[in-house]
A and B are shown apart, each in its own frame.
Chain A
Amino acid sequence: MKVTLIWSSPFPEKTIAVAMRRCYSTKPIEDIEAELEQKGPEYWKYLLSKALQDRSLDVLEHFVLTLALEGTTDADVGLLVRAFPYLRATQLRPIDWLVTLNARTLVELWNDPRGKTLAQMVVSELSERGVCPIFNQLAFGMGANAS
Chain B
Amino acid sequence: MRVKLLYHTDLDAIKRVLAQKEVVFDPEAMMDHVFYMFEIEDCSRVTTHQLVRHRAVSYDQESQRFSAATKEGVVTPPSVQSNETGYKAYDEALKAVYSAYERMVAAGVPKEDARYILPSAIKTKLIMTLNARSLMHLVWQRTALQAQWEIRELATTLRGLAQGATPELWTKIIER
Residues of A within 8 A of B (CB): 6-7, 9-10, 15, 18-20, 22-26, 28-29, 58-59, 61-62, 64, 66, 68, 86, 88, 90, 92-93, 96, 98, 100, 102
Contact = CB atoms under 8 A, between A and B. Distances in A.
Counting chain B residues whose Cβ lies within 8 A of the other chain, the interface size class is: 35 or more
Contacts of A24: 62-63, 66-67
B21 A92 contact: yes
Interface of B: 2, 4, 6-7, 9-10, 13-14, 17-18, 21, 23, 29-30, 32-33, 35, 37, 39, 41, 56, 58-63, 66-68, 125-127, 129, 131
Given A58-B58, A90-B33, A22 B14 contact: no
Contacts of B58: 58, 61-62, 102
Contact of A92 (B18, B66, B67): B18
Given A22-B60, A98-B33, A93 B9 contact: no
Given A88-B131, A98-B14, 10 more contacts: A6-B14, A20-B60, A23-B60, A23-B66, A24-B63, A24-B67, A62-B60, A68-B17, A90-B29, A90-B32
A25 B68 CA distance: 10
A144 B142 CA distance: 44
A29 B4 contact: yes
B17 A6 contact: yes
B131 A26 contact: no
A29 B125 CA distance: 9
